[in-house]
Amino acid sequence: MITSNNHNYIQVGYQAPDFSAVAVYEQEFKQVRLSDYLGKYLVLLFYPLDFTFVCPTELTAFSDMYSQFLSLNTEILGISVDSEYCHLAWMQLERESGGVGDLKYPLVSDLTKKISLSYNVLNDEGKSLRGLFILDKEGIIQHCVVNNLDFGRSVTETLRTLQAIQHVQNHPDEVCPANWQPGQSTIKSTPVHAKEYFKSI
């Protein structure tokens, strides 16, 4: 497995760039460091700006399903280029007014834009694109998807992908086919066993 990246770009299979920054969680400021999450799976949610339109729908949707991520030994970090004070004000605003309320995971301040730049999601306007990265327990990027500003991401697809990642890591002789869901058949990664799967579909 490739674990170090000597290139200036993000790629699946490489170690995620570490960072340390101020975050808001439970109405308090706290310092978070990516390496503190080693030993758990981690979803990084980059989003453009607080007090916008699509962003609160994404962040609250992930918060509402947070317990399902937690049951899979997975944490979530939201990240934008706003300050921690802006994050706090947004979290103190109710959902009905366009706020996000009390999220169940931290919002990280990337005011310097260094984190967004290191993950290659900073656009020319200085906003973070909708980048989503799933890191495994070793901090290796296993999945990434980047949406443009105007459309949100799927929480259920993120969960499905996370479950597929965990399945193949726990069963290294298996791979997951398209649209795989937990409990469905996988493919044994040998030519003979693969043919058995293909005959069954």
| Predicted confidence (pLDDT) per residue in 92-148, tens digit | 999 999 999 999 999 999 999 999 999 999 999 999 999 999 999 999 999 999 999
Name the catalytic one among 55, 86, 144, 176. 55
The owner of tokens 């999601």 is 121
Tell me, yes or no, if 55 is annotated catalytic: yes
Q: Which of 76-85, 155-164, 171-180 has the lowest mean pLDDT?
A: 171-180
133: left (phi over 0), alpha (psi -120 to 50) or beta: beta
Burial of 49 from C-beta contacts in 10 A (0-12 / 13-18 / 19+) = middle
Q: What is the rounded average pLDDT of the residues 50-73?
A: 97
Which pLDDT score, from 0 to 100, does residue 8 have? 58
**The CATH fold of domain 20-152:** Glutaredoxin (3.40.30)
How sure is the predictor about 2, in pLDDT bands with cuts at 50, 70 and 90?
very low
Q: What is the pTM of this model?
A: 0.92
